[in-house]
Amino acid sequence: MSDLWSQWLLHGRHADDPRLQEAMRAVVDRYIDRVLEGAQLTAGQTLVDVGTGEGLVAFRAMERVGHSLRAWLTDVSEPMLQHARAQAEVRGVLGQCSFLRCPADRLEGIGDASADAVTTRSVLAYVADKTGALREFHRVLRPGGRISLGEPLFQDDAVEAKAIKAVIDSHPAQGVSPLLILLHRWKAAQFPDSADKISASPITGYGERDLLRFAQEAGFLELHLELHIDTGPSIVRTWDAFIHSSPHPLAPTLSRIMSEQFTAAEREYFERSMRPVIESPSAVSTDRMVYLTARKALA
């Protein structure tokens, strides 16, 4: 059984390339450790990990806290919940886990004031009603309970697609570089490229200050937000891995975009132009993550 979430988490993000998979896992582990530092879990507590995917946040929390930690692992994706359950069995922690299929903004089945912490890692980005989800997190937390979220920011990628479009639109058709036109076709297939589409999309219609405001509107106190922007050597080292992976679950791969939207001559020209850039040892990538922690009032 597979859906778009399992297809991306288990294959599409690393193109089934073992070196990329390993490098990506190291990056994700860093994000997860940061989220768990913010959750401040202790023995005997209950965690709700929303949009659990493979269950990595919950399993790491169990490694850190031990056998007395209980966790709800929730997700909209049945294939991912089945995958997480199988992983829990392999790790010998099935007895600590409860699995729940539900959207982030309707955690039906989890009682009011029953959890000590709620975590998400790259989940709210895909939720249209982020304040609604944060209200649900607030509902299930006991007084004094904490949220710790780590979410990617894709707004700048969309702004880049919009900027390329603006350059194309401001030149007569013959004056535009053919490479720029193909770059735009690629980027616009993965990110919205107009102001209206950027603000309407759940993945690009928010910035770090919006996340803070949504959490305040949901009733959280003692908010702390960190925006981490890291540039460094790209972990995607080969053209094949680059074209067969995609930057988020809703984005088609470049390979698919090229086969559906490029002519054979355009594909050949684009690869000739871009492969050396992607495979250059000096290729860099930029990562934008927001970490937010906050607390529910004590009384």
Q: Which residues bind ligand SAM (CB under 6 A)?
A: 5, 9, 50-54, 56-57, 75-77, 80, 103-104, 121-123, 126-127
Q: Which is nearer to ligand SAM, 126 or 262 (CB)?
A: 126
Q: How far is the CB of 190 from ligand SAM (least distance, A)?
A: 15
In the bound complex, which residue of the shown chain has the CB atom lying closest to ligand SAM? 53
Q: Which is nearer to ligand SAM, 259 or 285 (CB)?
A: 285
Q: Which is nearer to ligand SAM, 25 or 171 (CB)?
A: 25
Q: Which is nearer to ligand SAM, 53 or 145 (CB)?
A: 53
Q: How far is the CB of 264 from ligand SAM (least distance, A)?
A: 34
Q: How far is the CB of 199 from ligand SAM (least distance, A)?
A: 19
Q: How far is the CB of 115 from ligand SAM (least distance, A)?
A: 16
Q: Which is nearer to ligand SAM, 38 or 51 (CB)?
A: 51
Q: How far is the CB of 122 from ligand SAM (least distance, A)?
A: 4
The span from the CA of 204 to the CA of 253, in Å, is 18
The span from the CA of 119 to the CA of 74, in Å, is 11
Q: Which is nearer to ligand SAM, 252 or 267 (CB)?
A: 252
Q: How far is the CB of 89 from ligand SAM (least distance, A)?
A: 18
Q: Which is nearer to ligand SAM, 103 or 164 (CB)?
A: 103
